[in-house]
Structure 1
Amino acid sequence: MRLFTAIYPPAEAIAHLTARVAGLRLAAASAAGTNVRLADPTHAHLTLAFLGEVDPARLSDVRQALGLAADGARAVVAAGQGGPPVLRLGGGGRFGWGRGTVLWVDVRGDVSGLVALADVVRAALATARVPYDDKPFRPHLTIARPGDRMTHDDIEADLAALDSYLGPPWPATELVLAQSRPGSPSRYHRLAAWPLGRPTAGRGGHGSG
């Protein structure tokens, strides 16, 4: 099972971003038939930890670790130390040039709170001895993977257009465990979710999807 943990922005935030993306050159290129690999808005997410291939026999360990992480996050809220992080999608950037070019939108708002949440999640996974990609956390939401099918000038123009973008605020109230299934395009299946906004009884999360 190819797993990751993530925060999913609400539909309103994704709709706002989708409207801005529709005005970018990459959207025009897509409409003209260029395969810029626009991300499916229904799967848009902020990855907190990428676990990669996990033995299905360890799924219960993963669920327990994430349940403990969510408990810790809710305990902070219950102690009056602030609610779940309030975030906004805004700005943008890219990874790579040429065939590996990926365009993404940045995250604004309580980014330090989001980083703290990612740290808690990763620490819980490490305690449970569940392997994950330990590269430094860089919150972002992928919008397209154009590779070398767009010119540098067009990509730079889109990045400049994203510089002034700022979406509506929204609270990160749910931690999600998801499975990435192979295919073109990739498919994502929500396996479980845990609330982050208030204390609740129990730890197992609830299945979804």
Structure 2
Amino acid sequence: MRLFVAVYPPAAAVADLTAQVARLRIGRMATSGTDVRLADPADAHLTLAFLGEVDAGRLTDVESALGIAAETFRGGRAGSPVLRLGGGGSFGQGRFTVLWVDVHGEVDALGVLARLVRIGLRRGRLPHDEKPFRPHLTIARPGDRVDGADVAADREALHDYLGPPWPATELVLVRSHQGPRPTHDRLAAWPI
């Protein structure tokens, strides 16, 4: 099974971001029928660690590592980290172009949580990526279906965006199903 670990923003923060995306060029293009591959708001998340393919027999080990990471994180804090979605950018080129929104607020605390998750996965000899943690929320994968100037204009428009603050209250283990319309299943969650 294909797994990742995430923090999900609450519905109010996602609704605010969705309204902002609708005002962007990619949002207007999506409304007019262009396949800009907008991210499904129901799946809006911040990835802390990507595990990739994990044998179902190791699921208990993954859950144990994440439970310990969440408990350790809670033990060192007086509350949930408060975050905000705002700003943004893009990465990739051509058909691999991705547009994303940035994360503000107690991002250092989120980085600590990501490190604890990865330490736990490493100790359990569980697969995970070693890419540097860069918190962001993907809003679209326009690829080469959208002119680069439109992507640049949307990136600039995101610089003025700042969503409402929200507490990151849980760490979530997610199973992803690939395909033309990817889906995500929440497998387990721990308070943070």
Give the TM-score, by structure 2 length: 0.98
CA offsets, 1:26-49, max 9 Å, x none?
Answer: 011112221100000000000000
Name the % identity: 63
- 1:58: which partner in 2? 58
The reply on whether 1:87 has 2:89 as its aligned counterpart is no
**Structure 2: distance between partners of 1:62 and 1:139:** 21
**Structure 2: distance between partners of 1:20 and 1:33:** 18
- 2:181: which partner in 1? 185
1:149 Cα shift? 1.0
**Structure 1: distance between partners of 2:129 and 2:140:** 22
SS at match of 1:14: helix
Give the TM-score, by structure 1 length: 0.90
1:182 Cα shift? 2.1
**Structure 2: distance between partners of 1:63 and 1:125:** 10
Q: How does 1:134-149 map to 2 (within 5 A)?
A: 134-149=130-145
CA offsets, 1:60-98, max 9 Å, x none?
Answer: 000000010011012113xxxx32211000001111121
**Structure 1: distance between partners of 2:175 and 2:27:** 28
Q: Which runs of 5+ in 1 are unaligned?
A: 197-209
- 1:160: which partner in 2? 156
- Deviation >4 Å, runs of 4+: none
- 1:7: which partner in 2? 7
Q: Which moved more, 1:184-193 or 1:28-37?
A: 28-37
- 1:22: which partner in 2? 22
What letter matches 2:188 in structure 1?
A
1:175 Cα shift? 0.3
- 1:44: which partner in 2? 44
What letter matches 1:111 in structure 2?
V
1:113 Cα shift? 0.6
What letter matches 2:161 in structure 1?
Y
**Structure 1: distance between partners of 2:143 and 2:103:** 22
Aligned-CA RMSD value: 0.8
The reply on whether 1:113 has 2:109 as its aligned counterpart is yes
**Structure 2: distance between partners of 1:134 and 1:168:** 31
